[in-house]
Amino acid sequence: MEQINFAILSFAHIHAWNYARVLKKLQHANLVAIYDDDFKRLKKASSTFKVEKAYKDYRKLLEREAIDAVIITSENARHAELALASAEAGKHILCEKPIATNLNDSDEMIRTAEKNDVKLQIAFVMRYHPATAEVKKLIEEDSIGNIISITATNHGKYPGEWFGDPILAGGGAIIDHTVHVADLIRWYTNDEVSQVYAEAGENIRPELKVEDNALILLKMKKGIIASIDPSWSRPDEWPFWGDVYLFVVGERGCIVVDAFSQHIQIASKENRKLTYSYYGTDPDEEMIKSFIQVITRDEEPLASGFDGRQALEIALAAYESIKRRKPVKLPLNL
């Protein structure tokens, strides 16, 4: 199998650090160059991953470096700028979720990738997690009959930094945490969302400029009901980062998933609190392996730019519903 040369564009998103670690580890991947607009972060990433080709200008990186693919892990609002330049430079793209902060950007990203014949994959990592991937298999095998309802939570802690910036992040907990499970709901049901209703409460952290909690109810076109809790409702003191919980009710059974429950409980004098240490599969690694295969075998990504766009639309509809105080029909007419 051929080697794929990668660049990581920005380490603003925390996931970039693990993606880089995975790239260093994988046999068929080379992390050739990195870019970051924050010099301190660039230096840190460059020394952590021993990547000498570290750029403060992504255009120069794209011009000069013989890379095949980029991973875009900038602030959400900058995904489009980086993706458009990468696509036009002929680089395949693995883009962090959410695909963008508005539908125009996402549509332009999809069009530009198609025009330049490069892959655009969205980092819907839960499609590669063994537990949530197993659910897809069980549903396809008709093990619980037709789906009636899906409940999902993607709770988390407040990620900090630019995630609290309404412009750079495009919102708060809703845009950050709705999309993963919204994508799973679309994937499991092979269906699209027809309606979104959402409420946001008073903030848990009143100092934040973005919402840190919300509750969302969905209706699917074929009559399935669903709910999503994307709240950053886990305090800093909580022993784990959060959860991905799914409860799929079918006509002949139900499936319950607590995707990150494979952990060891540990308390020590050193960290002075109880923590959960995860021993399950790293889905990031499975996702990047799959992306490499998509490139080498010229396949379609499991989670495409279109999937990214559809999940974003659900999150944006939740904001719209909160504003209008009523259910919002999809497709969105903004």
Which residues of this chain interact with other proteins, rule CB under 8 A?
A: 145-146, 148-149, 151, 153, 195, 197-206, 213-215, 217, 219, 223-225, 227, 229, 231, 233-235, 237-238, 247, 249, 251-254, 325-327
The nearest distance, CB 255 to other proteins, in angstroms, is 10
> How many C-beta atoms lie closer than 10 Å to residue 82's C-beta?
22
The nearest distance, CB 103 to other proteins, in angstroms, is 24
Q: Which is nearer to other proteins, 21 or 219 (CB)?
A: 219
Q: Which is nearer to other proteins, 252 or 297 (CB)?
A: 252
The nearest distance, CB 183 to other proteins, in angstroms, is 20
The nearest distance, CB 160 to other proteins, in angstroms, is 17
Q: Which is nearer to other proteins, 238 or 306 (CB)?
A: 238
Q: Which is nearer to other proteins, 42 or 196 (CB)?
A: 196
Q: Which is nearer to other proteins, 90 or 223 (CB)?
A: 223
Q: Across the strands, what pairs with 186?
A: none
Is residue 94 within 8 A of residue 72, CB to CB? The reply is yes
**DSSP codes joined into one string, 22-56:** HHHH-TTEEEEEEE-SSHHHHHHHHHHTT--EEES
Closest among 103, 113, 32 to 95, alpha carbons compared: 113
Is residue 218 within 8 A of residue 196, CB to CB? The reply is yes
300: left (phi over 0), alpha (psi -120 to 50) or beta: beta
φ, ψ of residue 154 to 5 degrees: the values are -135, 80
Q: Which is nearer to other proteins, 120 or 200 (CB)?
A: 200
Q: Which is nearer to other proteins, 114 or 251 (CB)?
A: 251
The nearest distance, CB 151 to other proteins, in angstroms, is 6
Distances (CA, A) of 96 to 74, 141, 276: 8, 30, 25
209: left (phi over 0), alpha (psi -120 to 50) or beta: alpha
- Residue 23 token pair: 């790239």
- Residue 76 token pair: 């959400």
Residue type, 326: K
106: left (phi over 0), alpha (psi -120 to 50) or beta: alpha
The nearest distance, CB 281 to other proteins, in angstroms, is 24
Contacting residues for 140 by C-beta, under 8 A, at least 6 apart = none
The nearest distance, CB 202 to other proteins, in angstroms, is 3
Binning the chain into helix, strand and coil, the percentages to the nearest 5 are 40, 25, 40
The nearest distance, CB 32 to other proteins, in angstroms, is 43
Report which DSSP code applies to 251. T
Is residue 30 within 8 A of residue 5, CB to CB? The reply is yes
The nearest distance, CB 306 to other proteins, in angstroms, is 26
Q: Which is nearer to other proteins, 90 or 201 (CB)?
A: 201
Q: Which is nearer to other proteins, 46 or 231 (CB)?
A: 231
